[in-house]
Amino acid sequence: LEMVHMSQRLPSNRKRRHSYRSKEMEDPDDNVLVSETLDMLEDSDLMFEEDETDALTLTDLLGFLDEVDVPNALRKRTKIWGEKIKHHRQRIETRLKGAHEHLKNIKNGLQRRGKAMRKVIRDASNRTARRIITGDSNKKVREYIKEPPVAKLIDCVSFTLGVILLVSAEFVSLTAPQHFWIFYITTAWAMIFTRIALWWGGNFKYFLFDFCYFGNLVFTLVLLLAPTNTAFLQVCFVWANGPIGLAMITWRNSLVFHSLEKVTSFYIHGAPPLAMMLIRWFVKDTPMCDQGGCVLSWFNWWVLSISGYLFWQVLQLVLTEIIGKTEIQTKGLQTSCRWIATHPKMPVHSISLKISRYFGIMGKEEKYDHTTWKTKVIFISFQAVYTMLTLLPCKILFESFWANMVYLFVLYIYCVWNGARYYIHVFAERYTLQFRGVDSKSQSQAEPAETKEMMLKNGELKLPHDDKKPKAHSATSSDNPLPSGRPNGTSQSDAETTSDAQKKVQ
């Protein structure tokens, strides 16, 4: 009760009592209880405010129950009602829980059926694609393209397309430099989608989240959606000529035309610097320059460029260490950190390890372990420092035409030189081994002819007309065509000649 006054009784108390008593209760016990309760309330000393309404609320009743000695029958009846309410509530909760579990089971069953149906459709489409490409629905495409005839065909196609791509890029850059960005987007993403198709189901799936692919995605979005935004274009110029362009040296890219992998790696690192250079120097009223002049601002050079790089670094850690962590560990998939940590001959591996040992971060005999956060933090820090170092020459490249030309010339010559070394030292050696194999085969074919003449001379091999059923013991075993030991009816000299012939054949 909000207020209790001792000076005035509850208004209309008798009227309320009379209204309650005038009602006939279904249960006689209820009539007795109500009468006793009303008499008790009438004789009680509880007082209310004058403006209290005639309606008796639940709050009033609860207050009365605390102050008034309610009969035991009413307390018993209230307890029974409470138990019934509790029982009904429990029954409703049980039914709701059962309905929830039933709906959950239905949902899980639908998900399982949908997953099984998607698997059936995927397997059927894969078998159809395999039948069309390989001629056998059970042979995988990845295994089919590794077979010598198919691999040679792919190499020939890659060589042809690589030369055509190089000549086409030269033609577009010389005749229409202002439209080269369209050629770049078309060809680069054709190669990237091809690489996604080849790598997504293999061990190099998470290489597709490296900074070079992220940079090409940003270049494409900026050139398509914000081609006149000076700040974004300057950041693209810095990224293309900084970390992505110098990655050709870091990852030892080589211009090997017959290798689709090498041509793709070269193009996704080498095409962006060329596209940004043409926009900067060969487009009239270039959008890279604002009204203040063609100057690379410090904010765009450092703040925006490093902020975008940090955003990519956080995104890559989320993908490799949270979302795909289980898949990488169970399937042994490769990442950039794991690849560098397990290849000591790479310059990044050796240089970072020497620096870490010099500052005491790594022990003198300690090696990289790609599963530990220590190695991951070292590579993340080293890559961040490397990125900031590659940003240093970008201001000179942006403001000097000849510096930009010489810079691109050095990068492309380095890749061409690596390709030449591959063709001379690797490919040519394999080509020479093919001819050596042919020479050794012809020599092995000549030696059995001489041996056969010697066997005919010694009487160990009969001509076909000497016997209608000749003993072709020379064809019984390719490893030892001559009989072992001394043949019957031969002299000591004949036996020695036979043993010499055996040695020669072997």
pLDDT of residue 434: 55
pLDDT of residue 454: 45
Task: Between 133 and 414, name the one with better pLDDT.
Answer: 414
Task: Between 440 and 122, name the one with better pLDDT.
Answer: 122
pTM above 0.75, yes or no: no
Instruction: Report CA 414 to chain centroid distance, whole Å.
Output: 30
- The token pair at 503 is 């040695």
pLDDT of residue 126: 83
pLDDT of residue 44: 52
Query: If you average pLDDT over every residue of the chain, what do you get?
Result: 78
For 107-143, what is each residue's pLDDT tens digit? 999 989 998 998 899 888 888 888 888 888 888 877 8
CA–CA gap between residue 452 and residue 458 (Å, rounded):
10
pLDDT of residue 399: 92
Task: Between 435 and 330, name the one with better pLDDT.
Answer: 330
What is the mean predicted confidence (pLDDT) over 53-66? Answer: 59
Residue 436: pLDDT band by 50, 70, 90 thresholds?
Answer: low
| Residue 286 reports pLDDT greater than 50 | yes
| Residue 458 reports pLDDT greater than 60 | no
Task: Between 442 and 295, name the one with better pLDDT.
Answer: 295
Task: Between 52 and 349, name the one with better pLDDT.
Answer: 349
Distances in Å between the alpha carbon of 283 and those of 81, 169, 224, 287?
88, 17, 16, 9
CA–CA gap between residue 453 and residue 461 (Å, rounded):
9
Cα angle for residues 270, 276, 390 (degrees, 5° grid):
65
Cα angle for residues 244, 283, 213 (degrees, 5° grid):
20
Which phi and psi angles does 293 have, rounded to 5°? 115, 170
Q: What helix, strand, coil percent values describe the chain, rounded to 5?
A: 75, 0, 25
- Report how far apart the first and last C-alpha atoms of the chain are (Å, whole number): 117
| Residue 181 reports pLDDT greater than 70 | yes
CA–CA gap between residue 155 and residue 151 (Å, rounded):
6
| Residue 455 reports pLDDT greater than 50 | no
pLDDT of residue 378: 93
Q: Length of the chain in residues, anyone? A: 506
Instruction: Report CA 163 to chain centroid distance, whole Å.
Output: 31
pLDDT of residue 488: 40
pLDDT of residue 214: 96
What is the mean predicted confidence (pLDDT) over 366-383? Answer: 91
Distances in Å between the alpha carbon of 344 and those of 102, 354, 378, 430?
57, 11, 15, 26
| Residue 400 reports pLDDT greater than 70 | yes
Q: Which residues of 403-415 are buried (b: 16+ CB within 10 A; e: fewer)?
A: ebeebbeebbebb
Which phi and psi angles does 71 have, rounded to 5°? -60, 155
Please name the residues in contact with 317: beta carbons below 8 A apart, sequence gap of 6 or more. Answer: 380
CA–CA gap between residue 201 and residue 196 (Å, rounded):
9
Three-state secondary-structure class, residue 195: helix
For 194-214, what is each residue's pLDDT tens digit? 999 888 888 889 999 999 999
pLDDT of residue 135: 81
Task: Between 141 and 328, name the one with better pLDDT.
Answer: 328
**Residue 290 bridge partners (DSSP):** 293
Q: What is the dihedral of CA 492, 497, 501, 504, to 10 degrees?
A: 110
Please name the residues in contact with 131: beta carbons below 8 A apart, sequence gap of 6 or more. Answer: 137
Q: Is the distance from CB of 264 to CB of 194 less than 8 angstroms?
A: yes
Residue 148: pLDDT band by 50, 70, 90 thresholds?
Answer: confident
| Residue 462 reports pLDDT greater than 80 | no
CA–CA gap between residue 421 and residue 252 (Å, rounded):
12
Share of the chain above pLDDT 70, in %: 70
Task: Between 52 and 31, name the one with better pLDDT.
Answer: 31
CA–CA gap between residue 320 and residue 314 (Å, rounded):
10
